[in-house]
Amino acid sequence: MDRNSFSVGVDVGGTFTDVVLFDRAERRALVAKVPSDPRNQSVAFMNALAKVGADPGKVERVLHGTTVATNAILEGKGGRVALLTTEGFRDIIEIGRGERTKLYDLKLVKPPPLIPRPDRFEVAERTHADGAIGRAVDADGLRAALASCDPASYDAWAVCFLHAYANPANEEAARDTLAEMAGGVPISTSSSVAPEYREYERFSTTVLNAAVAPAMDRYLGSVEDRLSDGGHARPMLVMQSSGGVMTARAARRLPAATILSGPAGGVAGARAIARDAGMANVITCDMGGTSTDVALIEGGEIRHTTEGRIAGYPTRIPQVDIVTVGAGGGSIASVSGETLRVGPESAGARPGPACYGLGGEAPTVTDANLLLNRLDAGDPLSGEITLHPGLAEAAIGRLKASLPGLDTMALAEGIVHLATVKMAGTIREVSVYRGHDPRDFVLLAYGGAGPMFASELASELGMTSVLIPPHPGNLSALGLLLSPLKRDFVRTMVRRLSDMEASELTAVHAELRAGGVGEFEADRLPVADLEFERSVDVRYVGQSSTLNLKCATDSPDPATLAAEFHAAHEAAFGHSDADEPVELVNARISAALPVDPLDIGCEAPAGGSATPRETRSVRFRGRTVDCPVHARRHLPRGSEIRGPAIVGETGSVTVVWPSDVLRVDPRGNLRLEVGRK
Amino acid sequence: MSELDPIAVEVVTERLIAVVREMRATMIRAAYSVTITEMKDFSCALFDGEGRLVAQSREDLPVHVVPMPWTVEAILETYDGDVHPGDVFLMNDAYRGGTHLNDVTMLYPIFEDGAAVFFAANRSHWDDVGGMAPGSMSGLATEILQEGVRIPPIRIHERGVPNRAALDLLFNNMRVPENRKGDFRAMLSTCRVAERRVREILDRHRLETVVACVDRDVERTESRTRERIRALPDGTYHAEDYLEFYHDGVFDPVLLRLALTVENDTVRIDFSGSSEQVAGVVNASLAVSAAGAVIALKAFLDPEDPINQGIFAPLAFTAAPGTVVNATPPVPCGAHAEIRRRTITLTAAALAAALPERMAGDMQGTSNHTLIGGVDDRTGRNYVFYEVPVGGSGGFAEHDGSSVFGTVDWADNQPILPVEAIETHFPLEVVREEIRADSCGHGRRRGGLGLRLEIRSLGRRATFSLVSDRAIVPPFGVLGGASGAPNAYAIRSGNGEIAALATPGKASGVPLSRDDVVVAHTAGGGGYGAPREREPELVAADVADGFLSVAVARDVYGVVVSDAGDLDAGATETLRTAARPDWRELAVVGEDESCVGDLGRHRMFRVHPRTAAERDLRDDDLVEALGDVPVPLRGWVRADGEMPTDSVSLDSWGQRQLRVAEGSPVRLRLLRRRDVQDPPLAGGPPPET
């Protein structure tokens, strides 16, 4: 293989590690899966490279989606972290906001604090809301405050002061003194990890970052060592929750930015495919075994948010605005009283649905799909798992006793339908949060189970257009190759727009931009090609939520911003008031090195007609119909199929409903025109 | 597939719930006030054409939603046969299905084929609705006019046309009207979203199908509720507790009583014996009192699903008008949250006799409505700061209670505001926000700990108001567990002097000078089981965390621990063996009536003076009596030479509640002793600051 013509993306998932090797010269993507090794992700990583024959020394770019940080948090296996915080506030991370996650439960308990109380230390200091320093950090005072501990005995430190987003000086001073005391122990400051207001959320993010820093450092170190042993001399790139990649060096300092590394890769891939297909407004739906991730692409851009949550703890780092529903192929159907439920319990990957024959007895959505014949009993799942219709039928049959009057098939169809309705409820909520009507969007479905549900889900939402990309089971890995190098920078400054000069925004944006350039320079990356995107978060004075407005220049006119805000508020919520004062909350800059668009191509033949490989009886809305079954790799580009039909491929199945029309576009995407069910 | 199969019922139900979720999402994004966007003090729901509650989301607050059927009934009664497309109704009347005046409810009819087939409802807390003090809630109000504008069911939009006169009148009588207008518009947005989505559902299903599905959903909730009730032993269960009321500055607690009768598949709840209503905030409508009972029944019997009208059918409520649980004009109703919490725990206490394993220690029993208002010197504008600092939840068989945690009648609302939001929006500085050590109700499983919050006023002048409770009579422990520490507020002046409130738990417009600090200590949750049965390692861990002091570990838990939390197992063993119980066993002597009071009523435990002296009991000691049920009975000691020695007086209610008979033993435990200088009954130390 020739140097500089290959890129490789490796995405580690719970069950499989996906790899895509792209040959730019040949415009060919080679896709493969290897089993993941949860104890040592780097083994699967190197196995994946080997499986596609990628020689580290000859690959131009290595891109990586990792779950090291995510798993460390979910499994409570982060490092031992100490907290240094403002005097009087060491319990903020335990107090939280006091909300309950479940109704009517006398026995509900809070998630445990991220750091036990004896490891939380206080220092007398104060920064005010406007950034003024009320009391500076006194180095001797800090040493005295930490006299009772050995700072070097912790795996990491989090320094979290009130209002540090408005002025990081006190945090930085404390960090410097602490660094002298703690030796090489990594220190995360809240002003560098998540410089936004709301202390609990910012502190939580910072502590999570500190907790996973040691594991991330070890892991990335080991992978980079293996790569450089193989002759790879360039920095490895790691997928961030925001849908851009960053260097491994940056990821070691900001591991909390990788919490959504895998799902964000999928959305980044979806965006590239949607752009390529000329679609500006897309809802992505990544459905796997246990959950479904939904995100919004608007005007060709991924919607972002800083409001995340993991294991019950909030995070405030820019991320793709993904909402996860606890519904997937593995969701368990049950009857309580006379009520049929689907989820939230899941059979997971082990034992999995009853039809896997791995010991699972609970009926799942996948079992229902198998009974309806939408899944092929003769075709092992992902080539690995043999399906047993008898076990599925028995499992669903057991529910029948509690729901008289329904036969097994009607029940199976009901389970799939109910799972779809629940998912649709979440999608609708996601879109309305942003003031959008899902009917103006295309549904882009991927993940193992996404294409199976896509048509029914679209109907439920009133959407008429669905796109299934090539390799829908591997889109997260593919997305790695299609993502820009990107870093986000933010500064909170709460100011009324009417009191502001354009020059103030110019100054802040310039400062943020300089910081961005510095970050890329430190990674020895070409800063001349950097593209900056500026935006501001704005609201009515008195409101708490903000709307994000893009700025065309570094110096947007405050009056123009106010006018844009009134219009955006009207569009989102149906009302606005031009007489109400408007205030700025955050200035943001996102710096990106764009990637060349890749023509990832596909296996679809260039011409010919679609010939089904067999015909199967499949049930749709109570009627069983003869349904042609196609192999996707034999569906020619430009061909058209009228539903009903089933299109199978490795790792996924697309269901075409009786009134749908499916076309294969020039890129090999499946485009569904969804009819009324 | 025929339309009314079980699947169709699920699908329609799920779609209706999705409508409410979307209303909720819309409100959070569009509202103005911090109370709604940060604290999320609002709820949405859908009612059908007959005014039956058919959908809430899995996030909306039970405190808002459960009383809503009464609200909707009041509006529909007023406008019977006179509801038109484009109409919007508004109300907050605390006597007619409202809660407190700050909770304003909007009802919005959705029409199909000329009939209102659904109603979208939104109940939101408005930060100020006028009245005597900023924030409208005022602990020492004596008539409802001091709590703000009382809005009877009014038609605020008529056939699509806003009633300007009414709107202007309302907003002119409220502080910070621009926020009120913004929140009003946001409420309207949520109803319009609901209308759009319901219409989409009606495009997919015929109206008759939707109605049939709703009927089915309500029916099955009813039958499930009946089934769970049938599993309870028939019988009548009693419980009583207090709300804290001051009459001319004198503590004069009012009595709340509840008799819960299980008969076959029905539950009757009778509030007879509760105090007459009083000229203070501790009154509420039957909607609020009954809602508390429904929330507790739901938690005990059927916690899984969101609520709908079906749960109400097997339940009946009785309360005489003009009592604290069924108030009539003109008394204030500001402590609705406190009454609701009390009827929740009274219902739970009654059920605990039948289902002790489902019981938890008591919660803090109040919302601690904390209000600071005045003029922001920086902007010249009025401001109203409102926060509801929470305390600990009760311990239960499987786990300790959680510290600083929303109570069971709340949901995803966030009672703890960010310090940085407070300091950005208001001329206030938060000096300290931490967990309050030793405040939990001690027990084998201890309650959660309360909060210690200090807020400094930076403006030249401001006022502080408070509606709280459980400031004197603490949250109870169960099965021998100890009480949580009571809620305690004080003002620390700029020179460091601390003044406890003259009327603990209640304040109206207390002036604050620059640099005065409001010190809030919230209650701990009640303990579960005897503290001396707690594993010594857990006590040592609490000491190491600084949640328990060494002294409490030793004196209450019988555990010897060093300051650093190192356990001395040998010394603990010795101490626990030698320990004497902290209660006094006395024999029950019956009497006709144990309760006395001026405007309120409270229970007296009469004991012979010699017995009192022997057992270290003094006049006006607040004590609790433990009988044969998990929950104790509270009252005050009175030495009485007429009593036989070694015995305590207990009327028939007390005997029925504790399930003890004449001559059988009860155990008395001291909760709070009055200092000489304290007013009668209301003694106790100011907060430990």
C-alpha span between B561 and B552 (Å, rounded): 10
Name residue, tokens 């300290």. B432
Residue of chain A nearest B66, judged by CA positions: A104
Per-residue pLDDT band for B15 (boundaries 50, 70, 90) equals confident
Per-residue pLDDT band for B202 (boundaries 50, 70, 90) equals very high
A560-594 per-position pLDDT tens digit: 999 999 998 877 766 678 888 899 988 999 898 88
- What integer pLDDT is reported at residue A348 of this predicted model? 74
ipTM field: 0.92
Q: Is the pLDDT of residue B682 over 50?
A: no
Q: Is the pLDDT of residue A598 over 80?
A: no
Of the candidate ranges A605-609, B316-320, B656-660, the one whose mean pLDDT is the lowest: A605-609
Residue of chain A nearest B415, judged by CA positions: A98
Higher pLDDT, B450 or A60: B450
B239-261 per-position pLDDT tens digit: 999 999 998 888 999 999 999 99
| Identity of the residue in B26, B62, B197 whose CB atom sits nearest the CB atom of A573 | B26
Residue B1 to residue A129, Cβ atoms within 8 A: no
CB A535 within 8 A of CB A586: no
Residue A414 to residue B58, Cβ atoms within 8 A: no
C-alpha span between B243 and A338 (Å, rounded): 41
A348-363 per-position pLDDT tens digit: 767 889 999 988 899 9
- What integer pLDDT is reported at residue B675 of this predicted model? 62
3-state SS, residue A638: coil
Mean pLDDT of A274-290: 90
CA atoms within 13 A on the CB side of B149: 23
Name residue, tokens 């790879």. A232
Q: Is the pLDDT of residue B572 over 50?
A: yes
Q: Is the dihedral of CA A147, A148, A152, A158 positive or negative?
A: negative
| Identity of the residue in A96, A574, A621 whose CB atom sits nearest the CB atom of B416 | A96
C-alpha span between A370 and A377 (Å, rounded): 7
The alpha carbon of A430 is separated from its chain's Cα centroid by a whole number of angstroms, namely 14
Phi, psi torsion values for B553, nearest 5 degrees: -55, -40
Mutate to test the interface with A, among B359, B376, B419 (most CBs of A within 10 A): B419
- What integer pLDDT is reported at residue A542 of this predicted model? 65
Query: What residues of B are in contact with residue A109 (Cβ under 8 Å)?
Result: 393, 399-402
Assess A128–B contact: CB distance below 8 Å, yes or no. yes
Mean of the per-residue pLDDT values for chain B?
92
Query: What residues of B are in contact with residue A199 (Cβ under 8 Å)?
Result: 418-420
- What integer pLDDT is reported at residue B52 of this predicted model? 96
Question: Which candidate, A603, A563, A599, places its Cα nearest to that of A582?
Answer: A563
| Identity of the residue in A129, A165, A337 whose CB atom sits nearest the CB atom of B224 | A337
B360-403 per-position pLDDT tens digit: 999 989 999 999 999 999 888 889 999 999 999 999 999 999 99
For chain A positions 246-305, those within 8 Å of chain B (CB to CB) are: none
Mean of the per-residue pLDDT values for chain A?
89
Termini Cα distance of chain B: 69
- What integer pLDDT is reported at residue A266 of this predicted model? 94
Q: Where are the beta strands (DSSP E) in A187-275?
A: 187-189, 237-239, 245-247
Residue of chain B nearest A571, judged by CA positions: B30
- What integer pLDDT is reported at residue B680 of this predicted model? 47
Per-residue pLDDT band for A226 (boundaries 50, 70, 90) equals very high
A319-340 per-position pLDDT tens digit: 999 888 777 888 899 987 778 8
| Identity of the residue in A110, A422, A573 whose CB atom sits nearest the CB atom of B29 | A573
- What integer pLDDT is reported at residue B29 of this predicted model? 77
| Identity of the residue in B58, B59, B433 whose CB atom sits nearest the CB atom of A88 | B433
B257-266 per-position pLDDT tens digit: 999 999 999 9
- What integer pLDDT is reported at residue A380 of this predicted model? 77
For chain A positions 105-124, those within 8 Å of chain B (CB to CB) are: 105-110, 116-118
- What integer pLDDT is reported at residue A574 of this predicted model? 63
A50 CA to chain B: closest CA distance, Å?
A: 47
Higher pLDDT, B682 or A431: A431
Phi, psi torsion values for A471, nearest 5 degrees: 50, 55
Q: Is the pLDDT of residue A600 over 90?
A: no
Question: Which candidate, B459, B573, B448, places its Cα nearest to that of A95?
Answer: B448
Residue B5 to residue A197, Cβ atoms within 8 A: no
Laid out side by side, the sheet with A582-593 consists of A28-35, A16-23, A6-12, A61-65, A237-239, A245-247, A485-496, A582-593, A531-540, A547-551
Mean pLDDT of B207-223: 93
Residue A198 to residue B37, Cβ atoms within 8 A: no
Query: What residues of A are in contact with residue B412 (Cβ under 8 Å)?
Result: 99-101
Say what the pTM is.
0.90
Per-residue pLDDT band for A597 (boundaries 50, 70, 90) equals low
Q: Is the pLDDT of residue B683 over 60?
A: no
| Identity of the residue in B15, B21, B420 whose CB atom sits nearest the CB atom of A162 | B420
Question: Which candidate, A208, A203, A134, A136, places its Cα nearest to that of A165?
Answer: A203
Assess A39–B contact: CB distance below 8 Å, yes or no. no
Assess A532–B contact: CB distance below 8 Å, yes or no. no
Higher pLDDT, A542 or B481: B481
In order of A599, A611, A650, A665, B536, the CA distances from A606 in angstroms are 15, 14, 20, 10, 75
Question: Which candidate, A124, A33, A139, places its Cα nearest to that of A86?
Answer: A124
A581 CA to chain B: closest CA distance, Å?
A: 11
Mean pLDDT of B331-346: 95
A to B CB pairs, distance under 8 Å: 228
A27-67 per-position pLDDT tens digit: 778 888 887 777 788 888 998 999 999 898 889 889 999 98
Residue B394 to residue A106, Cβ atoms within 8 A: yes
- What integer pLDDT is reported at residue B684 of this predicted model? 44
Residue of chain B nearest A200, judged by CA positions: B418
Phi, psi torsion values for B354, nearest 5 degrees: -90, -30
C-alpha span between B296 and B239 (Å, rounded): 13
CB B54 within 8 A of CB B311: no
CB A301 within 8 A of CB A550: no
- What integer pLDDT is reported at residue A488 of this predicted model? 85
Residue B418 to residue A545, Cβ atoms within 8 A: no
Going by the DSSP 8-state scheme, the letter that residue B564 receives in this structure is T
- What integer pLDDT is reported at residue A22 of this predicted model? 87
Report strand pairing: A582-593 vs A531-540: antiparallel
For chain A positions 447-506, those within 8 Å of chain B (CB to CB) are: 462, 494
Higher pLDDT, B127 or B61: B127
Q: Is the pLDDT of residue A383 over 70?
A: no
Per-residue pLDDT band for A400 (boundaries 50, 70, 90) equals confident
| β-bridge partners, B672 | B622
A118 CA to chain B: closest CA distance, Å?
A: 6
A161 CA to chain B: closest CA distance, Å?
A: 11
**Which residues neighbour A623 within 8 Å (Cβ) at sequence distance 6 or greater?**
none
CB B441 within 8 A of CB B481: yes
B491-545 per-position pLDDT tens digit: 999 888 899 898 999 999 999 999 999 999 999 999 999 999 999 999 999 999 9
Per-residue pLDDT band for A433 (boundaries 50, 70, 90) equals low
**Which residues neighbour B387 within 8 Å (Cβ) at sequence distance 6 or greater?**
B39, B370, B415, B416, B417, B422
What structural domains does chain B harbor? 6-218 (no CATH), 360-534 (no CATH), 535-578 (no CATH), 583-672 (2.40.40.20)
| Identity of the residue in B10, B18, B413 whose CB atom sits nearest the CB atom of A428 | B18
Mutate to test the interface with A, among B311, B420, B424, B631 (most CBs of A within 10 A): B420
